[in-house]
Amino acid sequence: MRVIGGKLKGKLIHNPTDKTTRPLKDMVRESIFNILEHSKNEKIKFKNDVVLDLFSGSGSFGIECLSRGVKKVFFFENYKPSLKILEKNIKELEIDKDSVIKEINAYEISKENIDNAVKIFRKNDCSFELMHCVSAYPFNDENADLGLISYLKEKFKCNVGYSGHEKGGYAISFAATALGISSLERHFTLDRTMYGSDQAASLEMKGMVNLVNSINIWGLLSLFCSISYLKS
């Protein structure tokens, strides 16, 4: 793999050889940054931003961010083979001074760690959004713990999104939308019967279209109800 854009464009990114780490492929990273930099709604400029790269693996995402001008990247990784590759990439690309490696399991990030992360973003005047996520692929609906969405919104006074890994249904995503999330992330697959841990937590094309359309209708109904309430 190689860096897609910025001052490090074309530079090699080493990857672990085992199958435990699933690095972001070049095409995926290119798509992500095209969306971030060229969105019609909000174009994100990376200059002087601070980025947290959780479950860093080879560090390909954080490295791409540094190449595009962010001030600093905090890499979180505790899997030893990936950690060695991450350190090698940072050293060879000579981005040591802009990189901080935290040998921490991101699954175990506590409320105190979230506090610290929010402080870093606000201190550096960076826009950010917190995402509520249950890191299981898939998880049962009763384990969604959606109450954390309201907790995070109230405590940190910021946008809170929802990253859904439920078993292909819509109910939890609808409930999260009703709680006022600012963004919704769901996995997409061409075939849910394919091999891999993500497939059962993903939506196929028809399911994704139904979800998006339903949420759009929900938004219109919510707006209509709000206007009706104000008029009354």
How many other C-beta atoms are found inside a 10 Å radius of the C-beta of residue 14?
Answer: 16
pTM above 0.75, yes or no: no
**Is a pLDDT exceeding 70 seen at residue 200?**
yes
Verify that 98 and 200 share a domain, yes or no: no
Write out pLDDT tens, residues 56-85: 889 999 999 999 989 999 998 888 888 999
CA atoms within 13 A on the CB side of 63: 34
Verify that 202 and 170 share a domain, yes or no: yes
**DSSP bridge partners of 188:** 203
pLDDT number for residue 34? 84
Residue in 54, 6, 56 with CA at minimum distance from that of residue 30: 6
Q: Residue 218 falls within a domain, yes or no?
A: yes
Read off the DSSP letter of residue 12.
Answer: B
Q: State the total domains in the chain.
A: 2
Write out pLDDT tens, residues 121-154: 898 888 899 999 887 677 788 888 898 899 999 9
Q: Which amino acid is at 118?
A: V
**Is a pLDDT exceeding 90 seen at residue 95?**
yes
Verify that 30 and 70 share a domain, yes or no: yes
**Is a pLDDT exceeding 50 seen at residue 230?**
no
**Is a pLDDT exceeding 70 seen at residue 43?**
no
Spatial CB neighbours of 29, under 8 Å, sequence gap ≥ 6:
4, 60, 61, 64
CATH number for the domain that contains residue 164: 3.20.20.70
CA atoms within 13 A on the CB side of 7: 12
Verify that 79 and 161 share a domain, yes or no: no
Verify that 109 and 35 share a domain, yes or no: yes
| Backbone dihedral region for residue 43 (phi beyond 0: left; psi -120 to 50: alpha; all else: beta) | beta
- Using CA atoms, how far residue 148 sits from 88, 93, 140, in Å, is 37, 39, 16
What is the domain extent for residue 27?
Answer: 1-116
pLDDT number for residue 19? 63
pLDDT number for residue 109? 60
